[in-house]
Amino acid sequence: MDKDTTMDSFDNRVPLVKEKLRELVRYAALSRLKIHADCQDVEQVELSDDFRPGKVLANNMVFILVSGESVRMTFKVHFNGDVARSLAFRVFGGASDSAISIQRAVDYIKEYCNLVAGSVVSVFEELDIGLGMSLPHSTRGFYEVFSDYQEQQHPIIIFNDFWSLNVNKKVLHCSVVLEILDCKKLEKLIGFEFAVPEDNHDELDFL
């Protein structure tokens, strides 16, 4: 009996799609921070080997949701107030970074999350895959302990990614939960070269 290669072909493509999704989100986060922080010297760093999902990474957290028929994404930025103030000060200016209110600093990170999600949505639009996105929301970093990072392979493929971005000796921690609902549609990502537009968030559909 001839071996059915259909399932084997699908299984071989799943890791490629997962890796491409990770690459896309990391690329969007890095490229957008360079623009949003007005600094090209941004370093992407892996978290320490002893990191465990659900660990509180900072005092504050902003998250945003992206969703469609083929994929769902929850992107989070974990940060301390002094980091957000310092980054916002580079853009807003003023007497000092301490003069930036915590609310304005949080709004700065919320806009960053919005830009990252918008970049991801724009890439999928190029592939004729429609996605919507929520408004960014802020909360206490402590609530990270209640996050569900349980990965699974069936029927929905769920996986996570965690990393940090260093800019001007300040650190933002990033995390994302990705849910693949229709892997076949996402195969368009394989081999796609990312080129995120600089300004696209004004034309996006919000959930």
Cα distance between residue 152 and residue 5, in whole Å: 23
- What is the count of structural domains for the chain? 1
- Of 78, 102, 97, 95, the closest CA to residue 86 belongs to 97
Cα distance between residue 23 and residue 174, in whole Å: 13
Quote the pLDDT of residue 192. Answer: 86
Q: How far is CA 90 from CA 36, 82, 158, 169, 206, in A?
A: 9, 13, 37, 13, 29
Do the bridges between strand 137-140 and strand 132-133 make them parallel or antiparallel, or are there none, so unpaired?
Answer: unpaired
CATH assignment at residue 68: 3.40.1550.10
Report CA Rg, the chain. Answer: 18
Domain that holds residue 167: 5-203
Cα distance between residue 207 and residue 188, in whole Å: 24
User: Which segments in the chain show pLDDT lower than 50?
Assistant: 196-197, 199-207
Asked if residues 205 and 124 have their Cβ atoms less than 8 Å apart, the reply is no
Quote the pLDDT of residue 206. Answer: 37
Asked if residues 15 and 159 have their Cβ atoms less than 8 Å apart, the reply is no
Q: What DSSP designation does 6 have?
A: H
Asked if residues 32 and 112 have their Cβ atoms less than 8 Å apart, the reply is yes
- Of 120, 138, 136, the closest CA to residue 206 belongs to 136
Tell me: the pLDDT tens digits for 167-205? 988 999 999 999 999 999 999 999 888 764 454 444 444
Tell me: the pLDDT tens digits for 143-164? 999 999 999 999 999 999 999 9
Quote the pLDDT of residue 94. Answer: 75
Copy the structure tokens of residue 29.
Answer: 């986060």
Give the angle 138-119-117 at the CA atoms, nearest 5°: 25
